[in-house]
Amino acid sequence: METLEQIKARLEAALPSAKIEVLANECAAGERSLLVDAASGFTVAKFLRDDAQLKLDYCSNVTGVDWPDKELTEKIKVKQVVDGVEKEVEEVKKNIRPGYLEVVYHLYSMGLKHGPVVLRLRTENRADKTHLPSLTPLWRGAEFQEREVYDLYGVIFYGHPDLRRILMWDEFVGFPMRRDYIAPDDFEYEPTPHDEVLVEAKKHYPAEPKAEVKP
């Protein structure tokens, strides 16, 4: 299979409007990924699927990743004149990287038996602009997985034929897989030795202090 750089070059040639970036991966396996901007996500995916050399006809895995706002600390070496002598002083600069939600697609080719090409799409932020194009029209296999990402992360896929909650019930509020999700604490009484849960749960009990089952 071609390297990601080659794919990127061909993509940029074919789709000039797309902003594509190759993300590094430091781990042992080193599977790098293509980051594509949300607007051209669909066309890029279509290219990857239909291209004769790639033919990525099999979308194996679709998943969301939550990247909350992160405080990045940067150490910048600044030249300063201290006591008349020019010195390099390290200065810690703090800036907040805005959070975003990310959807990762693992694409393989069944015909040519190669892969994976990892495709990433990012939302603008985590609160109100969580829209991404749905790739379900390209790969039916993404249907339930995108619903799952919607359900657990709150990414809204436009163009999805049937975007409903899938694992949680329809009335559920919140997105449980987000990093800042706070689990409910109204569990039934369980005599586990870990009492924090119990203490939290007890708030929800009725007046009867030793009720074993929530009414």
Partner 1 sequence: MLGEQIIKGMAVTARNFFGSYFSKNRLTTVQYPEERLPQKGNTRQFPFLVYDGDDAEKGLRCVACQICEKECPPKCIYIVKSKDKKPDYKGQPQIYPLTFDIDISVCMSCQICVEVCPFESIKMNTEFELSTADRFGDLLLTKEKLAKPNSYYQKIHPADAAESDAVIAAEKAKAEAKAKAAAEAKVKADAEAKAKAAAAAAAAPIAPPPANPPTTT
Partner 2 sequence: MNALATPPKNFEVKPKLAANGEELGELLEVSMGPHHPSTHGVFRMDVVLDGEKVVKLKPVFGYLHRNHEKIGENISYLANMPYTDRLDYFCSMTNNWAYALTIEKLAGLVVPERAEYIRAIMAELTRLQNHTCLIGFFVQDMGALGTPMMYAFREREKILDLFEEVSGARMMCNYMRFGGVRVDVNDEWIAKTKKVVADYSKFLDEFGTFLTENEIVLARTQFVGVLPKDLAINASITGPMLRAAGVNYDLRKVDKYGIYSRFNFQVPVGEHGDIYDRYMIRVLEMRESIKILEQALRDIPVGPVMDPKAKLRGFRPKAGEVYGRVEAPKGELGFYVISDGSPNPYRYRVRPPSFINLTILEDMCLGHNISDAVVILGSVDIVLGEVDR
26 counts as binding partner 2 under rule CB under 8 A:
yes
Quote the least distance from Cβ 199 to partner 1, whole Å: 14
143 binds, among partner 2, partner 1, none (CB under 5 to 8 A by kind): partner 2
Three-state SS at 73: strand
Quote the least distance from Cβ 16 to partner 2, whole Å: 28
- According to DSSP, residue 193 is labeled S
* Paired tokens of 178: 């987000």
The residue type found at 114 is H
Residue 28, number of CB atoms within 10 A of its CB:
5
* Paired tokens of 6: 């080659």
Site string for partner 2, 183-202 (x = CB under 8 A): --------------------
> Cβ closer to partner 1: 191 or 206?
191
Give bridge partners of residue 117 from the DSSP assignment.
107
9 counts as binding partner 2 under rule CB under 8 A:
no
27 binds, among partner 1, partner 2, none (CB under 5 to 8 A by kind): partner 2
177 counts as binding partner 2 under rule CB under 8 A:
yes
* Paired tokens of 158: 């436009």
215 contact partners, CB below 8 Å, separation of at least 6: 206
Quote the least distance from Cβ 29 to partner 2, whole Å: 4
Site string for partner 1, 158-197 (x = CB under 8 A): --------------------------------xxxxx---
Nearest to 33 by CA among 63, 71, 69: 63
Stretch that binds partner 2, among 13-21, 61-69, 84-92, 205-213 (CB under 8 A): 61-69
Nearest to 42 by CA among 137, 123, 108: 137
Produce one character per residue of 95-133: b if its CB has 16 or more CB atoms within 10 Å, e if not.
eeeebbbbbbbbbbbeeeeebbbbbbbbbeebeeebebb
Q: Which residues bind partner 2 (CB under 8 A)?
A: 25-31, 33, 57-61, 63, 65-66, 104, 106, 110, 113, 116, 118, 127-128, 130, 139-145, 150, 152, 154, 156, 160-164, 166-170, 172-177
